[in-house]
Structure 1
Amino acid sequence: MSDKQEVVIGIMDPNSFSFRAALEGLLHHIDREIKYKGKTYEVVPRRIVSRPYNVLGAKTSCSVILNRGAHWNPHHNSFFHLVMPHSYMINDMVSFKSIDKNTSYGHMHELGLHIPPTWAIPQADYSKLLESDRVDPDLIFPDYELFDLAAIGEEVGYPSYMKPQDGGGWVDVVKVNNVHELHDAYHKIKDKPVNLQKAVDYKEFVRVVGVGPQMMPMHYNAGAEHSHDRYLRSEETAIEHGFLPAEQFDEVCKITKIINAFYNWDHNSCEILVDHDGVAHPIDFANAYPDSNVTSLHFYFPELVKAMARWLIFIAVTGRKKPLFAQYWDDMLKIKEKAEKKGWSYKQKLDAYAEIADEAFQTKEFDKFCKEQLAHFEEQAYHYFASEAFDSIIGESVERYFKFPHEWPNKKMHYKGIHHFWLHCERNRLCISLEEEVEERSTAKADA
């Protein structure tokens, strides 16, 4: 009889082929037998698929589930709600309900983060409401009052950005420079409640993706025509190491970790604008389903996959329990009150909030686990990302994303070229020789 205890990692990501395939591939490639506190655990990845289930007594064998997309599917959504008490959910269905731009802006402003002036504005067009046979307009519209959009524009200031309150992917985001453009944008977006937010004259646009306590700042080019080009440094340069000074790098990591701990988000991205005076302004940070495709993230992609694998394994093996939603709100608000009484600086407040966030994510325990239980993870991960199996994921991702076959050869060359540079950087960091890589590939072929 085996003494090993099986721990199952469930993976659901129906809309991001490359991330799901690479994560599954990495988890199968590494040593999945882990010794922890006198016990041996076998990590078993399993894909979550759509199937009927008995609502009365729904169960799952998964110790932890990566949930990317269930909020769009009521069938999965209700199942995950049912099994939440018995399985750690990334992200859980309660925290998904808190993904709201306005509440997050307000809460983080209260904590003292540098949120630009922001107003929430009702929708301009109610025609869909008027056409509905389920609504009595006579009961609804007396509760709406007229307002002066121009006055709001003056208070926020120009230039500013108008964007849907529940939007994403830069859809319907409009820059407005004056009151005429403000009115045009408002009536163009029409049937969606919007935010009006003061533009920041920024030096650096940073997007930080967090997975548990692991933060990954990436440079971001919001002006790129296509979303798959936005993580490139420029048209000529894919990546720039050290694009942020060390102090700013630390700050944007702490900001994101604080936000994620506050809302109990294991996986989220935070967009931050660093202005010419070095002030960091979070502008969009309720994104619990961040873009994770290799065609977007290119150089950064393997690091995100590795971060998710480490966090999933840590949860599954240690039996980490999900904190309750809003569990750390009181602690952070007490820090805010203490800071106001004692006249703390912004940095002092940020450091104190970050300590609470590290407690929430068990950062010390996680780092110790990675050092001791995942001692060979980095080298094993390198060999996976250097394998033909991952090379084929890049190729298939290109063919899935780009719709015109004549584009595929150049696009594959582009993404594989960037990935080969990542491999080069990793070889230098880990002191792996090319001979070792060739030997590993030969062994993999023989095993196959």
Structure 2
Amino acid sequence: MPDRTKHLLGLLLGTEEDWPRAFETLVARLGPVRDPAGTEHALATERITVEPFDLRAKPRYDLVIDRLAYWYYVPREWLKKVALMDDVYLLNSPFTFQSMEKHAAYCAMMRLGLKVPPTWLVPYKNPVDHAKYAYTAAKYNEPFDLDAVAAEVGYPLFMKPYDGGAWRGVSRITDPAALHKAYDSSGEMLMHLQASVEGYDSFARSLTIGPETMVMRFQPEKPMHERYAVQHGFLSPDAGSEVVSISRLINAFFRWEFNSCESLVVGEEVYPIDYANACPDISITSLHYYFPWAIGALLKWSVFCAVTGRRARLDLDTRNYFEVADSQLDYDAKLAEYRKLADEYFDTAAYHEFCATSLPNVDNMVRDWVSSPDFDALLVDTVRTTYPPAEHDRFVAHFRGLIGLWIQEG
């Protein structure tokens, strides 16, 4: 029988270096962790390599944090194998990657009654590279009036790829000339047209890891190092609670446990506009002030899942959500029921009890490490690999200041 008190946490990585180093360091510093029965558990990390694999081979990992398989199919298929055959716990589920393509995510949240702006999908501008396309298009593709679709959506609107990613191909469109220019440039990208939410008061980006959520003021028009404003209380209590509920609902629905959500807030109204980001940016140079919270939350949720033997649920249980959506409850009452379903999925009460009893010193450990020369060396290394040499001093000082503010306010 395998030893159930030793847990290997696998990191499936692309180009990232900063948060993996932070995560590895904190796991190494963690020491033994007692489960609710008092048994000690040991945890370690390992970076996963990509290589041929036997479908019947037994993996050594209890949990894998995946940051690669959304675009690299070999590790994606390995993840499916270890989830289906070996009960390896995954952040995130490879079975809902299709939903990372914004279209399915929009449809699901519209079905649940969220205030997603009017959205249409339009065909490719250029033919796809497929031998059967010309015949199929000639026989079945209906001609369509792009201007009529845009008029139905309403100006101003956004044209954006259905599969998204780092603001690729996103255009704000205010008139037919700009509409056709953007569409002509879209090539083989499949595009949505989505109504703009004008005059919003706040752009909120919420990062959710397990049952924990950080809501941040986002400034998309600014350079990456300034997009997350350090501003507390920028939403009213009701709007802030709604953003949290929507974020956790989306994650529980799709079995994502490491995802970010973007919402526009007008007064007390919350309009989710992008919430299929199941490989969210958590770089030091992006999150800065919020980075220690993110790495601490990722550590605690990963340890909770591994030590308690949390089992992945590959089925989505959509009917539970749709029954709420189809009920006579008003919007606020439905959101409260969705929050209950999300808390049930994330074992929220058990998680917080585990953190209080089995991980009582983690927050202080994170703070001590972030205050150390070791963390500062990681910060400097990240700046040096991210920015040109002439900007190193400027950005080291910039990020040291923001991290120092987090330490001071804690």
Same fold (TM > 0.5): yes
Residue number among 269, 272, 297 corresponding to 1:307 in the alignment: 297
Work out whether 1:331 is the aligned partner of 2:313.
Answer: no
Identity %: 32
What is the correspondence of 1:336-415 to structure 2 with a 5 Å cutoff? 336-338=325-327, 340=328, 344-402=329-387, 404-415=388-399
Residue number among 158, 163, 179 corresponding to 1:161 in the alignment: 158
Work out the CA distance in 1 between the residues paired with 2:369 and 2:268: 39
Contact 2:69/2:75 (<8 A) preserved:
yes
What is the match of residue 112 of structure 1?
113
Q: Residue 201 of structure 2 aligns to a residue in which SS?
A: strand
Work out the CA distance in 1 between the residues paired with 2:376 and 2:399: 10
Contact 1:32/1:44 (<8 A) preserved:
no
Residue number among 223, 232, 245 corresponding to 1:241 in the alignment: 232
TM-superposition CA deviations, 1:85-136 (whole Å, max 9, x none): 321011121122322212211211121110001000111122x63xx6x446
Work out the CA distance in 1 between the residues paired with 2:407 and 2:325: 44
Q: Residue 62 of structure 2 aligns to a residue in which SS?
A: strand
What is the correspondence of 1:21-100 to structure 2 with a 5 Å cutoff? 21-50=21-50, 52-85=51-84, 86=86, 87-100=88-101
The residue identity in structure 2 corresponding to 1:217 is: V
Contact 1:263/1:325 (<8 A) preserved:
no
TM-superposition CA deviations, 1:381-418 (whole Å, max 9, x none): 1111111111111111111111x211101111111111
Work out the CA distance in 2 between the residues paired with 1:111 and 1:154: 26
What is the match of residue 310 of structure 2?
320
The residue identity in structure 1 corresponding to 2:291 is: F
Contact 1:34/1:42 (<8 A) preserved:
no
The residue identity in structure 1 corresponding to 2:207 is: V
Work out the CA distance in 1 between the residues paired with 2:150 and 2:321: 32
Contact 2:55/2:81 (<8 A) preserved:
no
What is the match of residue 446 of structure 1?
none
Work out the CA distance in 2 between the residues paired with 1:36 and 1:388: 34
Work out the CA distance in 1 between the residues paired with 2:49 and 2:404: 33
The residue identity in structure 2 corresponding to 1:279 is: E
Work out the CA distance in 1 between the residues paired with 2:169 and 2:160: 6
Work out whether 1:256 is the aligned partner of 2:247.
Answer: yes
What is the match of residue 289 of structure 1?
279
Distance of aligned partners of 1:360 and 1:143 in 2 relative to their CA distance in 1, 3 Å threshold: same
Residue number among 391, 396, 402 corresponding to 1:418 in the alignment: 402
Q: Residue 99 of structure 2 aligns to a residue in which SS?
A: coil
What is the match of residue 431 of structure 1?
none
Work out the CA distance in 1 between the residues paired with 2:72 and 2:133: 29
What is the match of residue 173 of structure 1?
170
Work out the CA distance in 2 between the residues paired with 1:4 and 1:90: 20
What is the match of residue 208 of structure 1?
206
Post-superposition shift, 1:54? Answer: 3.6
The residue identity in structure 2 corresponding to 1:63 is: D
The residue identity in structure 1 corresponding to 2:399 is: Y
The residue identity in structure 2 corresponding to 1:223 is: E
What is the match of residue 217 of structure 1?
215
What's the RMSD between the two structures over aligned residues? 1.6
Post-superposition shift, 1:264? Answer: 0.8
Contact 2:204/2:263 (<8 A) preserved:
yes
Work out the CA distance in 2 between the residues paired with 1:141 and 1:416: 60
Work out the CA distance in 2 between the residues paired with 1:311 and 1:304: 11
TM-score scaled by structure 2? 0.95
What is the match of residue 433 of structure 1?
none
Work out the CA distance in 1 between the residues paired with 2:83 and 2:115: 34
Q: Residue 333 of structure 2 aligns to a residue in which SS?
A: helix
Contact 1:58/1:83 (<8 A) preserved:
no
Q: Moved runs in structure 1, 4+ residues, more than 3 A?
A: none
Q: Residue 113 of structure 1 aligns to a residue in which SS?
A: coil
TM-score scaled by structure 1? 0.87
Work out the CA distance in 1 between the residues paired with 2:373 and 2:339: 40
Work out the CA distance in 2 between the residues paired with 1:54 and 1:242: 49
Q: Residue 98 of structure 1 aligns to a residue in which SS?
A: helix
Contact 1:58/1:79 (<8 A) preserved:
no
TM-superposition CA deviations, 1:307-335 (whole Å, max 9, x none): 110000000000001112312x1111111
Contact 1:64/1:312 (<8 A) preserved:
yes
Distance of aligned partners of 1:56 and 1:251 in 2 relative to their CA distance in 1, 3 Å threshold: closer
What is the match of residue 195 of structure 2?
198
Aligned length: 405
What is the match of residue 437 of structure 1?
none
Post-superposition shift, 1:140? Answer: 4.0
Work out the CA distance in 2 between the residues paired with 1:60 and 1:274: 45
Which stretches in structure 1 are left out of the alignment for 5+ residues?
234-238, 427-448
